[in-house]
Chain A
Amino acid sequence: MDQNRITINGHAYEFTPGQTILEVAQQNLIDIPNLCHLKGTRATGACRVCIVELEESWGRKIVSSCSAPAKNGMIVHTESPKIVAYRKFYIGLMLDSGNHNCDIGARADESWTDFQISAMENDQKEELCPVWGDCELQALAYRYQVKGRVSGRHREAVTLPIEGDNPFIIRDMSRCILCGRCVAACNEVQVNQAIDFGFRGTKEQIIAGTGTTLMNSACVFCGECVQVCPVGALVEKKALGKGRPWEVTKIRTTCPYCGVGCQQLLHVKNDTIVKVTGVEDGAPNQGRLCVKGRFGYDFIYSDKRLKTPLIREKDGFREASWEEALTLVADTFTRIIDESGPDALAGVSCARSINEDSYQMQKLFRAVFKTNNIDHCART
């Protein structure tokens, strides 16, 4: 297949026509940094971080790998000195474009070994950026050793207020780098059409509706925007302060709500779910969740949970041991079977619980009680 080969950093790779340079690189585990690219959506080329250098017959040129299609015979360099220099410049511009209080600010002469200490330094925000340590811009700044306030284009202090009038999503546009991933997620992935770019020039920002809050827009709080945000502009309110990314274990599971069966990653710290995200590329949801799947997990921690067997006593219930409760159930069912036959028992299984539970319940009814009076809410 000589027709579909490109060379990246000296190695030849095959590609399928229609793939972008970035897609070919990702497929071959070559890491081209990117911030605005969102799989499955139209390339915007907004962040310029994914630029690569192409060798052409007439010389070299720079393109953004997320939007440039791979062509036969292409020779691509992803980390050439020129690319690295430009990339550092773009990363610096983004660091300077808002409140990124993880950057080392004016102390551009300091080394990145001081990075963690200086991260605590206040940069127009009282609190440390909530995604510190889990931020793609920060990771790139570290990787390319970019320090803030070197572009000479630091904007005025960004004083946009934090939006938190809804229960789920905190929007801090002062940390937004205008990559547009959230816009693509909202308009092209989930298609809820709640947010978009608004205003122009230096005042450009992501707006909800026609410039209102998410609460007053078409937003349905699926949280896809939060999942794709590379920085701390969009964060889950319920997860705030509950755990740092390196403290959590990610456990894959299936959503307990509708029949789509979305695959979730439970972010768990100390046996407690602190956040839920979608499993990227997992079937069937491809990383997507809805408001219930993403934010409806904490019912299991409610104080109102049943914690002990209960036995009716007059008008109320009293707590009982498993031994007493199960013996009462078994004895009563046995007596009813003896007196009236097995068909005097009936049971309803649960369409919310696991397969193994429903299997076990029908087995109890058929093999032990000897009745087929077992049903569940499939019909209602």
Chain B
Amino acid sequence: MTNSFNEFAKAKMLLVIGSNMTEAHPVAATFVKNAVQKGATLIVADPRKHKLVDFAHTHLPLKVGSDVALLNGLMHVLIQEDLYDSEFVETCCEGFDVLKQTVASYPPEKAGEISGIDPELIRQTARLLASVKPVMVCYTLGITEHTSGKNNVMSIANLQMLLGNMGVPCGGVNPLRGQNNVQGACDMGALPNVFPGYQPVGDLSARQKFENAWGVDRLPEKNGLMIPEMMEGLVDKMVRGFYIFGENLANTEPDIRKVEHELASAEFLVVQDIFENETTRFAHVVLPAAAWSENDGTFTNSERRVSRVRTASPAPGEARPNWWIFREIARRMGHTWESDSAKDLWDNEISVLAPNLAGIKYHRIENDGLQWPCPTESHPGTPILHLEGRFTKGKGSFMPVEWTPAAEVPDDDYPFVLSTGRRLYHYHTRTQTGNCEGLNDMLGEETADISAADAQKLNIDQNEMIRVKSRRGEVTVKARITHEVPEGLVWMAFHFREGNANWLTNPVYDPDTLTAEYKACAVSLEKIA
């Protein structure tokens, strides 16, 4: 996020796109609702009429996967009607002419045809967005989990730069990160192309810096593989040893049959986790790890805030902290690592090696955490990025993009769009929530959410078991007829093994990020009896 959670409640206008915030980020949603109660205007763009729509001034029920068309349509109106922030564009941005040229071919009529939104509503929404300054844009995986995920994100950035909403309180581009420490795992360099602090592995000086710090030579310079490439590498034996730490890939990746074939092909699979799960079944060695609140450490949230995690309970049996396990493997391979606690690792290694984190030390985050960039120990942290339009790289570049459809769209055999996501009472594959008293009582099984119109057409009753099929597989699952879902859409989650949406989802990826298209594939619905 370029901005911070404490700005949500003060915002004058919010555009929430591709984010079912009340279920996936419930506490963040409370601040959005607070803003609305204080008079803010909320615009929700989402195929579903989820709970936040109840608080919205305008709902844009766009078709799944049409985000770029809608956003380009909005920008078309902003430019055509001269409603954009020309001063910000001139002084802080570059590439406006190319943007203008691209969005010129998305008049509201065309954007409306692709997105299913009334062209007049697109015009009104564009005028609404230009009527107030600043507007805060929030998005989640509804934007990124598409083959056009990166383009979707760039469209949002284009819109916010065009409106001059960057670098100001209550503005900005704000992706709510899905998992508690997905931001931190990126910051730590658990990515194939960067060291901690986003220092490229291809950069010689960065490699030298880490070689010196770690007391090694010849750190690899070539970018590594991304998860889907690793998985495919298991089958063609390019990858022989695979180490999975705390991920239940067998349930979370698209097309479970394909994923399980890949996992089963692994020559040597190490899984380190807190529970046995669908993925440990394929392991050759399972290592028991200490869980949350069984060791000290830090998480980094969506607003780049590094906060402390503390020990409350001892780990069960022989379970050990993950960092200890990695250290022990290193030791057995001839490397002795000094750091002997999470605090050592942070204070003596991470914050020393990552310039953005240099000023964050454990003693400074005893209470509230600090937001990076925080380059020195006297720096207060950075709640808002790009202040006054000063982008990291100088001027902000418009990156105009063309709309592309989802890789798989409905046809006669598979006439419905399947989109997926998360529900309030569970988290991902329930490794944690499924083992908590009470949460299974609130939600005990998967459902396929469908519209009343489709249910009527197919003669499906509420709670009736139905079959949902895609080109990858099929599941038998309970139908949940709801006004949240428009005609033609099926919406499912992946919390349970039975009826898991990932038996159906399409293993196709954004070409740059390799993020899978969880949000769109084609399915059929069948009455069983």
Contacts and interface: CB of A to CB of B under 8 A. Distances in A.
Interface of A: 166-168, 188-191, 220-222, 237-238, 251-263, 266, 268, 271-273, 282-286, 288-293, 295-302, 304-312, 317, 322, 325-334, 336, 339-340, 342-368, 370-380
B287 A374 contact: no
B496 interface: no
B312 interface: yes
Interface residues of B, number: 146
A293 B28 CA distance: 13
Contacts of A325: 285, 287
Contacts of B223: 372
B332 A346 contact: no
B327 interface: yes
Contact of A348 (B177, B249, B294, B516): B249
Given A305-B317, A346-B243, A367-B335, A354 B437 contact: no
Interface in B209-252: 210, 214, 216, 218-220, 222-227, 230, 233, 238-247, 249, 252
B27 A262 contact: yes
Contacts of B346: 355-356
A351 B516 contact: no
A372 B224 contact: yes
B439 A355 contact: no
Contacts of B369: 254, 261, 283
Contacts of B342: 354, 356
A259 B179 contact: yes
Contacts of A292: 26, 424-425, 427, 433, 439
B12 interface: no
B220 A291 contact: no
Contact of A305 (B243, B316, B322): B316
Given A300-B294, A379-B227, A346 B242 contact: yes
B243 A348 contact: yes
Contacts of A238: 437-438
Contact of B307 (A261, A307, A310): A261
Interface centre among B223, B298, B329 (most CB of A within 10 A): B329
B284 A352 contact: no
Contacts of B132: none
Top 4 nearest A-B pairs (CB, nearest first) are A307-B317, A261-B301, A354-B297, A350-B246
Nearest to A224: B30
Contacts of A375: 190-192, 224-227, 230
Given A283-B369, A357-B245, 8 more contacts: A254-B307, A260-B301, A293-B27, A347-B245, A348-B244, A358-B189, A368-B216, A380-B252
Interface centre among A258, A295, A302 (most CB of B within 10 A): A258
Interface string B316-328: 1111111101111
B185 to A, nearest CB: 4
B350 interface: yes
Interface string B8-32: 0000000000000010111110100
Given A256-B292, A305-B274, A379-B226, A354 B286 contact: no
Contacts of A362: 188-191, 195-196
29 contacts: A220-B26, A253-B293, A254-B308, A257-B180, A259-B25, A259-B176, A259-B178, A266-B293, A283-B5, A284-B305, A307-B318, A322-B318, A322-B328, A343-B225, A345-B240, A346-B230, A348-B230, A350-B185, A356-B346, A361-B245, A363-B330, A363-B337, A364-B326, A367-B214, A368-B216, A368-B334, A375-B190, A378-B186, A378-B191
Nearest to A313: B284
A253 B284 CA distance: 34
B78 to A, nearest CB: 30
B77 interface: no
Given A306-B275, A312-B285, A344-B238, A370 B219 contact: yes
Interface in B252-304: 252-253, 267-268, 270, 273-276, 280, 283-289, 291-295, 297-303
